[in-house]
Amino acid sequence: MAMFSQNPVLNGPNYSFAEVPQHAVDGLREHRFNPYTDNGGSTLAIAGADFAIIAGDTRLTAGYSINTRYAPKVFKIGGSTSSQDDANILLSVVGFAADGEALKERLDAVCKMYRYRHGKPMSVSACAKRLSTILYQKRFFPYYVHAILGGLDEDGTGAVYSYDPVGSYEREQCRAGGAAASLIMPFLDNQVNFKNQYIPGSGVGHELQERERVPLPRNEVEVLVKDAFDSAVERHIEVGDGLQMMIITKDGIEERLLPLKKD
Amino acid sequence: MDHRPQAWGRPRDDVYGAYDASYMQTNQPNQHTQSPIVTGTSVLGMKFKDGVVIAADNLASYGSLARFTDVKRLRTFAESSVVGFGGDVSDMQYLDRHLTELAIDEAYTSTTTTPNAQPTLNARNLHKYLSKLLYHRRSKFDPLWNSLLVAGLDEAGAPFLAAADLLGTTFTSPSLATGFGSMLAQPIMRGLVPDEASVAQVTREQAINCVRECMKVLFYRDARSLDSYSLAVVTKDGVELSENEKLENQSWAFADRIKGYGTQTV
Amino acid sequence: MFRNNYDNDSVTFSPQGRIFQVEYAAEAVKQGSVVVGIRNAEELSSYQKKLFAVDEHVGLAIAGLTSDARVLSNFMKQQCLSERLTYDRAMPLETLVSLIGDKAQLNTQHYGKRPYGVGLLVAGVDDSGPHLFEFQPSGLTQEMLACAIGARSQMARTYLEKNLDKFADCGRDELIRHGLRALKETLVQDRELTVENTSVGVVGPKEPGKRPLEAFKVHDGAETKDWINSIADDTETSGDGMQVDE
């Protein structure tokens, strides 16, 4: 019946007030408090040969309102002090901001206990697995966030791990998350993983040879990140205000703040 | 977006579609439904170079009825911070009692060793605590239906202003407003303090005048507001709270041209 | 025949502060067949670690049962973490110490429990400045300007009392030297402070009187060399040539 379908039919009978059920539907129905909201914003992470970059915009929204123009989404994790000067891991969270904050604090507490017990910082791969279990522990009342973890692996190579809200995770070369993920990710596929790039004149059809993938140098990645966000700001209302970029290398973590359009 | 407290925490129409009112056609009470009953409207806050100004009107509404016209929605904490409450008034009163208890506990445990010491909770500590409380309650599906502003100074003595709502969402900004104020007052206040850097240029008088002006705009356009309000200024010297401010120099000239205001001649 | 009255249960200390059941249990190890563990490089044995960093602004030193101290240290670490999570601040020292004081006091009052067999010195800096607390198994906690606990600590306390007025105006290095001189007093004949047997835990502001805190750090090994050398040949150590029999 058309009246029960999501989309009303264009020709024929549509929803009629006369047909509104006059009695309660069988079974209990609850109109419950909704514990989630979407605070917008977008994040992006790219791993290089000897560095990893995680970036996020700093806008925090509620519907069409901008709550604040500066709410960081990228955090240092696992330092020995609250100032995180000697942190070795980066975490970005986007989605429901309160869950993101709670998740960040939980993971940081885990890293601090690890340091206390073992006298050394947690490795990125260990932290990545731990984050997955933390998310899965709340499988039936999830942290509503898209988390991305970054750092350097045991060989000093840049590492990026991305997660879904219930803890599925994978190590990747690059990942975009949040409101403008669908705008940024195809751009990254093309510019980082060289998707749909072929060597000119190498053949026709299946004979075409793909351009060889090489890790990008840091300065190019930084420009790429800025371009990605400038484009996202143009087309997505929940993205803008400021760009926070954290770059982790063997020398530590560097933070850069760049302006984005505020409109 | 709908900014009435009744709409907070509800599924957004633009995301989930309009609420199906046919479910309301029941003879039994809807048991697990929760919503605010007696509500307070906007709270405004703004930083200036030496501290923070915060204001809220003295009205508690029962739906569209202006039910209680002398309800104070700003409360001081430890003579060094102010919390402004929007949303459900009974939840506000619960939090108020809770904060009184916390302040007493703090006063007991903090100052015994060094007489001039100040290890009491500052505005940042207080905001963190309240946001944890709100987040914890939302995680139990038993939210405190409020949206708070916390004003004061941080551990370094710099102005501190932050918000927390019934979901546990937190954020800070040079100026903040809850409820209707986020649409009507926030753009005006952002004109004076667009970013953190500009806070250092704003004097106490400028900030107070701007907030008073915003309270007036809200009284003009927010049907659940009142012309009697509370205003507090927090600096390193403490809190100056005035709970019986009146809106001055109102001009209803604009109302002539708007249908629905005053007596209509046409 | 000699009969030991203090080995019937593991909740009674002997007058010497020993728990015989625990020591007998260690004998059980000798009933097992032999196993060998071996490793190369670096020394196998070292002095027992006695300083713990609890949080960035608190550390502690122990005298007594290390395993009991670890329980208390873990508890304090958890409390400090949760204080940072709920209030975003460093746990005030007095609050922290009274928590372990209450915990230890309960053990003195309940059937079937035994007191913690360890004394602590808890040092830290909070919003109200630097603090030093002494903790005893009875649950007693006391704020001190300077303190020493453990074997032969009376000698150190004597030194500290003598020099008490100087500490307030001391710089960091000078204060450490006072600490080491006090420690030196407690040594038995022919023993010296060396980089192997000495650790120094320090916490304080990066710059005098300012805020960013330099996190509690345990210095041991080569890091303590300069301090130890600087007090190696001063003569004022034994005060006025005071002689105390051991």
Q: How does pLDDT run across B218-232, given as a tens digit for each residue? A: 999 999 999 999 999
Which stretches of chain A sit within 8 Å of chain C by CB? Answer: 80-83, 105, 109, 112-113, 116
Of C88, C126, C143, the CB nearest to B119: C126
Cα–Cα nearest to B165, from B60, B57, B43, B11: B43
8 Å CB contact between A230 and A239: no
Tell whether B51 is covered by a domain: yes
Instruction: Check C84 against A81: CB less than 8 A apart.
Output: no
pLDDT-derived band at B27 (thresholds 50, 70, 90) equals low
pLDDT at A20: 56
> Which has the higher per-residue pLDDT, B149 or C25?
B149
8 Å CB contact between A65 and B171: no
Considering B26, B33, B113, B265, which one is annotated as catalytic? B33
For A181-190, B44-53, C103-112, which range has the lowest pLDDT when averaged over its residues? C103-112
SS3 state at B21: helix
Question: pLDDT tens digits for C53-95?
Answer: 999 999 999 998 999 999 999 999 999 999 999 999 999 999 9
8 Å CB contact between A148 and A116: no
CA distance C211 to chain B (A): 8
Domain count for chain C = 1
Which residues in chain B are contacts of A97 at CB distance < 8 A? Answer: 169-171
Count Cα atoms within 13 angstroms, Cβ side, for B118.
Answer: 12
Which residues in chain C are contacts of A116 at CB distance < 8 A? Answer: 53, 77
> Which has the higher per-residue pLDDT, B160 or A28?
B160
Question: pLDDT tens digits for C22-55?
Answer: 888 777 777 766 767 666 555 445 567 889 999 9
* CATH code for the structural domain at A42-260: 3.60.20.10
* Residue C205's CATH number: 3.60.20.10
Which residues in chain A are contacts of C212 at CB distance < 8 A? Answer: 83
Instruction: Check C127 against B128: CB less than 8 A apart.
Output: no
Instruction: Check B25 against A22: CB less than 8 A apart.
Output: yes
Of C87, C95, C143, the CB nearest to B125: C87
Tell whether C241 is covered by a domain: no
| A226-232: long-range pairs with CB below 8 Å, 24+ | A226/A258, A227/A187, A228/A44, A228/A176, A228/A184, A228/A187, A228/A188, A229/A42, A229/A44, A229/A55, A229/A57, A229/A184, A229/A260, A230/A260, A230/A261, A231/A183, A231/A184, A231/A187, A232/A42, A232/A57, A232/A180, A232/A183, A232/A184
Which residues in chain B are contacts of C87 at CB distance < 8 A? Answer: 121, 125, 128-129
pLDDT at A221: 97
Which residues in chain A are contacts of C53 at CB distance < 8 A? Answer: 116
Question: pLDDT tens digits for A123-156?
Answer: 999 999 999 999 999 999 999 999 999 999 999 9
- 8-state DSSP, C193: -
Tell whether C218 is covered by a domain: yes
Instruction: Check C89 against B121: CB less than 8 A apart.
Output: yes
Of B14, B26, B138, the CB nearest to A35: B138
Best mutation target among A19, A22, A34 (most B Cβ atoms within 10 Å) is A34
Instruction: Check B195 against A69: CB less than 8 A apart.
Output: yes
pLDDT at B18: 79
Tell whether C58 is covered by a domain: yes
CA distance C33 to chain A (A): 31
Mean pLDDT of C153-172: 92
Instruction: Check B15 against A31: CB less than 8 A apart.
Output: no
Mean pLDDT of B58-82: 96
Instruction: Check B28 against A24: CB less than 8 A apart.
Output: yes
The sign of the CA dihedral B92, B93, B95, B99 is positive
Which residues in chain C are contacts of B119 at CB distance < 8 A? Answer: 92, 126-128
Of C88, C128, C211, the CB nearest to B119: C128
Tell whether C97 is covered by a domain: yes
Q: Which domain holds residue B195?
A: 38-247
For A58, residues 6+ apart whose C-beta sits below 8 A from its C-beta are A41, A69, A70, A71, A72, A73, A241, A242, A243, A244, A257
For A176, residues 6+ apart whose C-beta sits below 8 A from its C-beta are A42, A43, A44, A183, A184, A185, A188, A228
Q: In angstroms, rounded to a whole number, what is the distance separating the alpha carbons of residues C119 and C100?
A: 11
The H or E element that residue A126 is part of is helix A124-137
Tell whether B81 is covered by a domain: yes
Q: In angstroms, rounded to a whole number, what is the distance separating the alpha carbons of residues C221 and A135?
A: 42
Best mutation target among B80, B110, B113, B118 (most C Cβ atoms within 10 Å) is B113
Is position B33 annotated as part of the catalytic site? yes
Tell whether B216 is covered by a domain: yes
CA distance A105 to chain C (A): 7
Which residues in chain A are contacts of B171 at CB distance < 8 A? Answer: 60, 67-68, 71, 97
Of A24, A36, A71, the CB nearest to B25: A24
- In chain A, the residue whose alpha carbon lies closest to the alpha carbon of B182 is A65
Average pLDDT of the residues of chain B:
90
pLDDT at C129: 87
Of A35, A63, A69, the CB nearest to B1: A63
Which residues in chain B are contacts of A67 at CB distance < 8 A? Answer: 163, 169, 171, 173, 182
pLDDT at B131: 98
Tell whether C192 is covered by a domain: yes
pLDDT at A123: 97
8 Å CB contact between C90 and C55: yes
Which stretches of chain C sit within 8 Å of chain B by CB? Answer: 85-89, 92, 94-95, 98, 126-129, 131, 143, 211
Domain count for chain B = 1
Instruction: Check C212 against A112: CB less than 8 A apart.
Output: no
Of B109, B112, B125, the CB nearest to C89: B125
Instruction: Check C128 against B112: CB less than 8 A apart.
Output: no
> Which has the higher per-residue pLDDT, B252 or B75?
B75
pLDDT at A110: 97
Mean pLDDT of B192-208: 97
**Hunting for tokens 């004003």 — which residue is that?**
B151
Q: Which domain holds residue C33?
A: 20-226
- In chain B, the residue whose alpha carbon lies closest to the alpha carbon of C142 is B113
Q: In angstroms, rounded to a whole number, what is the distance separating the alpha carbons of residues A244 and B169?
A: 20
User: Taking CB atoms and an 8 Å cut-off, how many pairs form between chains B and C?
Assistant: 42
**Residue B174, token pair as written in the block:** 């040079």
Question: pLDDT tens digits for A13-31?
Answer: 555 555 555 555 555 555 5
Ranges of residues in chain A whose predicted pLDDT is under 70:
1-31
Q: In angstroms, rounded to a whole number, what is the distance separating the alpha carbons of residues A237 and A64?
A: 8
Instruction: Check B155 against C94: CB less than 8 A apart.
Output: no
Best mutation target among B167, B178, B189, B190 (most A Cβ atoms within 10 Å) is B167
For C196, residues 6+ apart whose C-beta sits below 8 A from its C-beta are C46, C47, C221
**Hunting for tokens 């008490």 — which residue is that?**
C164
The H or E element that residue B74 is part of is strand B74-77
Question: pLDDT tens digits for B107-129?
Answer: 887 655 555 455 589 999 999 99
The sign of the CA dihedral C189, C191, C193, C198 is negative
Chains that touch A (3 or more CB pairs under 8 A): B, C
- In chain B, the residue whose alpha carbon lies closest to the alpha carbon of C90 is B119
